[in-house]
Copies of this chain bind each other. A is one copy, B any other.
Amino acid sequence: MTLHIHGYSRSGNCLKIKWTAQKLGLPFEWTEVDVMTGGSRTPAFLAMNPAGQVPTVVLEDGRVLAQSNAVILHLADGSNLIPKDPYERAKMFEWLFWEQYSHEPYIAVARFHRLMLGKGPDEVEARIMERGEAALERLELQLSETPFLVGDHLSLADVALVAYTRVADEGGFDLARYPAIQAWVTRVEAALRITD
């Protein structure tokens, strides 16, 4: 069996997996799941993943795996997307957990409210926007010092963080205020050959 990604193309969490597979030259199939119309809540989908979330991946041996960052760690095991140095690897993990706890719930959620739910700028909770700006400030600080999040090389930290950062504008964040982030987005998009 070929690696099979059940994903939604507007979800950065799903795109992380596609980009990682492409970068590593892993063949995959993609089935589009429209989460906005209940596509991840059908009996067939829930039988595969009771959590009813995308991305859900069926590995080559038929076993199922969820959680975007867990999937990219699994696919990239042993590759140069995961630093060999133990401390650099730990810093990559620090960014991956920070992404899910302190970045995605604000940057991606603001975009969800604006783009998917059609809310206006004043209808997104101020707390979400404030914490989103704090997350961008932290990225800007790091990327003013290093070309990638962990030192001099592309790692899964960049793959995970670029997913929603590159479209943060769609959530009402002004990336023009963050020049180091903008340069890094361009760098990571080139490294991952992201063209859309």
Chain A residues engaging chain B, CB cutoff 8 angstroms: 50-51, 59, 61, 63, 65-71, 73-74, 77, 86-87, 89-91, 93-94, 96-98, 100-102, 104-105, 138, 141
Contact = CB atoms under 8 A, between A and B. Distances in A.
B87 A63 contact: yes
A49 to B, nearest CB: 10
Nearest to A137: B50
Instruction: List the 7 closest pairs (A to B, CB-CB), nearest first.
Output: A70-B93, A74-B90, A70-B94, A67-B97, A67-B94, A100-B101, A69-B97
The oligomer's copy count stands at: 2
- Of A65, A91, A93, the most chain B CB neighbours within 10 A belong to A93
5 contacts: A51-B102, A63-B87, A71-B90, A74-B89, A101-B105
A90 B93 CA distance: 14
Nearest to A74: B90
Given A59-B87, A138-B50, A73 B101 contact: no
A93 B65 CA distance: 10
A74 B93 contact: yes
A94 B105 CA distance: 17
